């Protein structure tokens, strides 16, 4: 008998992959035609190469999306549980955002000068996340890059530390992994000409002794981490880990940067507020301005004072931070509407039970089919992982990934009108997601599992 893949017979995976790919092609003639046409002038036929990473024979081309539904150019409707990988996780085009965009569009989009919204958005961010000072950038990647630069400037230390399996955007310093306990470049990097491992240390998540040893030499400016790793399946912090992380970083004079770009799903104010974390910096992008490109980073009063000191000690000139469209008027106006009217405590009151319903529903179906899998939640984010135990670190999480099984499931779901994240088995729910949508997804997952385990 062939070795099982995540508890599933490989022949069943092969059969599902073949059938679902064929079905996908049959069902999407217009998307196929547009994908072919785009190849004439877009490298790989798409404006951003990740758009090919869905594993489909060609990308679905979208006609429109509203709330928790999305329509493609072939006339198919989807229940969206991926929401642009978090960029629209509070729903597609919520009314307050659509209104704010129209308002600002009528009075200019970018001036490299502040507007009335600036003071208000600062107050809203401070209220939501509990940090007194803020700066804006255009993407979460940029927010992380700028924060790393600030951390080096104020500590005068050269190195940073990240956890194995992390993802913080296209921020060069973070592209380091562990292989057999040794730091290496993240596989697949293009054009990497200098050795990132010289200035970036990497240890396993949930491993305090390794962290302590890496920080002890006193050359690390900051630890940059998500409070739960969400980009390598899902790795939750073990009890006491985040407290120990804070204590050890303080002990060694290392700044703690919490990236809330995905874990803003946890609750109002993200994981930081929900679990009373005490970061020196907090970064967040993606959904913060309702789907308009914008990110922000917040910091403590102590850090702000150290930033001023570093600036005063530095000759004037270009800081290496900031881009022309950062904090443009449109982004700030959309962010104000988003924080005032969309990302509210009431929104989370709907989202969290809905995600629990999805997670517990999927878990029951997995159990009933005797599959060695589990489901984890970080608030409105739920992930089913094709392994029996919750992974403790990036290495275990990587071992729990079964790309063929996952792709078969994704294609099955897409062909039946459900979008979940393409890179792993992540689902998001929005304030617009209904219990009916969740129940339909759970029932369809069950149909898929039934075929896989026969
Ligand atoms: C935790 C985290 N931080 C930062 C980023 C980068 O976001 P962006 O690609 O919008 O710059 C991502 C993207 O997936 C992320 O998951």
Does residue 329 sit in the same domain as residue 435? no
Q: In this structure, are 321 and 417 located in the same domain?
A: no
Q: What is the pLDDT of residues 387-413, one digit of tens each?
A: 999 999 999 999 999 999 999 999 999
Pocket of ligand 1 (CB under 6 A): 139-141, 144, 167-169, 226, 231, 259, 261-262, 285-286
- 261 CA from centroid of ligand 1 (Å): 6
CA of 140 to the centre of ligand 1 (A): 5
Residue 189 has pLDDT above 80, yes or no: yes
Is 162 part of a structural domain of the chain?
yes
Over residues 194-250, the pLDDT tens digits come to 999 999 999 999 999 999 999 999 999 999 999 999 999 999 999 999 999 999 999
Mean pLDDT, all residues of the chain: 97
Distance 28 CA to ligand 1 centre (A): 30
Burial class (CB in 10 A: 0-12, 13-18, 19+), 279: buried
* Torsion angle, alpha carbons of 411, 417, 423, 425, to 10: -100
Inter-residue contact 425 to 81 (CB < 8 Å): no
For residue 2, pLDDT over 90 is answered with: no
Q: Which of 285, 291, 325 to mutate to test the pocket of ligand 1 (most atoms within 8 A of CB)?
A: 285
Atom 3 (ligand 1) nearest CA: 168
C-alpha of residue 171 to centroid of ligand 1, in Å: 9
Q: Is residue 89 part of a domain?
A: no
Question: Closest Cα to residue 407, out of 393, 422, 394?
Answer: 422
Same domain, 249 and 291: yes
Instruction: Tell me, yes or no, whether 87 lies in a domain.
Output: no
Using the mean position of ligand 1's atoms as its centre, give its distance from the Cα of residue 291 in Å: 13
Phi then psi for residue 434, to 5 deg, are -105, 160
Closest-CA residue to 264 (of 251, 255, 254, 274): 274
The answer to whether residues 67 and 180 belong to one domain is: no
Q: Give the total number of structural domains in the chain.
A: 2
Domain final position from 319, 342, 365: 342
Could you tell me the residue range of the domain that residue 41 belongs to?
10-80+345-453
Q: Do 76 and 112 fall into the same domain?
A: no
204 shares a domain with 232: yes
Residue 260 has what pLDDT? Answer: 98
Same domain for 241 and 311: yes
Residue 40 resides in a domain: yes
Residue 454: its pLDDT value, please?
Answer: 87
* Residue range 331-357, pLDDT digits in tens: 999 999 999 999 999 999 999 999 999
310/387 same-domain check: no
Domain ends where: 320, 342, 364?
342
Residue nearest atom 15 of ligand 1, based on CA coordinates: 168
pLDDT digits (tens, 9 = 90+) for 277-332: 999 999 999 999 999 999 999 999 999 999 999 999 999 999 999 999 999 999 99
Residue 1 has pLDDT above 70, yes or no: no
């Amino acid at each position: 008998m062939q070795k099982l893949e995540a508890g599933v017979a490989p022949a069943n995976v092969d059969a599902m992959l073949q059938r679902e790919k064929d079905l996908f092609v049959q069902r999407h003639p217009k998307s196929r035609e547009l994908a072919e046409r785009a190849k004439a002038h877009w490298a790989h036929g798409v404006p951003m190469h990740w758009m090919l990473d869905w594993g489909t024979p060609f990308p679905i081309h979208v006609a429109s999306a509203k709330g928790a539904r999305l329509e493609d150019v072939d006339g198919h409707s989807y229940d969206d549980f991926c929401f642009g990988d978090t960029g629209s996780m509070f729903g597609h085009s919520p009314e307050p955002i659509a209104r704010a965009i129209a308002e600002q569009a009528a009075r200019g989009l970018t001036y490299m000068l502040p507007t009335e919204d600036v003071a208000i958005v600062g107050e809203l961010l401070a209220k939501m996340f509990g940090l007194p000072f803020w700066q804006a950038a255009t993407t979460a990647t940029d927010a992380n890059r700028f924060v790393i630069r600030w951390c080096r400037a104020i500590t005068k230390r050269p190195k940073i530390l990240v956890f194995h399996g992390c993802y913080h955007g296209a921020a060069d310093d973070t592209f380091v992994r562990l292989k057999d306990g040794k730091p290496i470049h993240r596989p697949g990097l293009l054009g990497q000409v200098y050795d990132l491992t010289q200035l970036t240390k990497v240890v396993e998540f949930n491993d305090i002794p390794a962290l302590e040893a890496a920080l002890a030499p006193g050359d690390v400016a900051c630890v940059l981490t998500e409070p739960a790793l969400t980009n390598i399946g899902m790795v939750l912090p073990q009890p006491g880990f985040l407290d120990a992380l804070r204590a050890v970083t303080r002990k060694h004079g290392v700044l703690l940067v919490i990236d809330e770009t995905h874990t803003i799903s946890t609750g109002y104010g993200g994981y930081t507020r929900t679990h009373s974390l005490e970061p020196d910096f907090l970064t967040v992008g993606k959904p913060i301005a309702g789907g308009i490109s914008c990110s922000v980073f917040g910091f403590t009063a102590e850090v702000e004072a150290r930033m001023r000191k570093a600036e005063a000690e530095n000759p004037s000139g270009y800081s290496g931070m900031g881009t022309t469209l950062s904090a443009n008027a449109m982004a700030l106006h959309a962010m104000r509407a988003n924080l005032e009217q969309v990302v509210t405590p009431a929104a989370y009151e709907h989202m969290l039970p809905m995600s629990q319903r999805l997670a517990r529903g999927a878990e029951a179906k997995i159990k009933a089919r005797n599959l060695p899998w589990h489901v984890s939640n970080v608030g409105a984010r739920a992930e089913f992982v094709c392994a029996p135990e919750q992974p403790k670190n990036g290495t275990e999480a990587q071992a729990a990934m079964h790309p063929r099984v996952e792709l078969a499931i994704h294609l099955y779901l897409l062909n039946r009108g459900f979008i979940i994240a393409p890179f792993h088995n992540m689902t998001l729910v929005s304030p617009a997601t209904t219990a009916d949508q969740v129940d339909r997804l759970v029932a369809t997952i069950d149909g898929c599992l039934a075929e896989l385990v026969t």
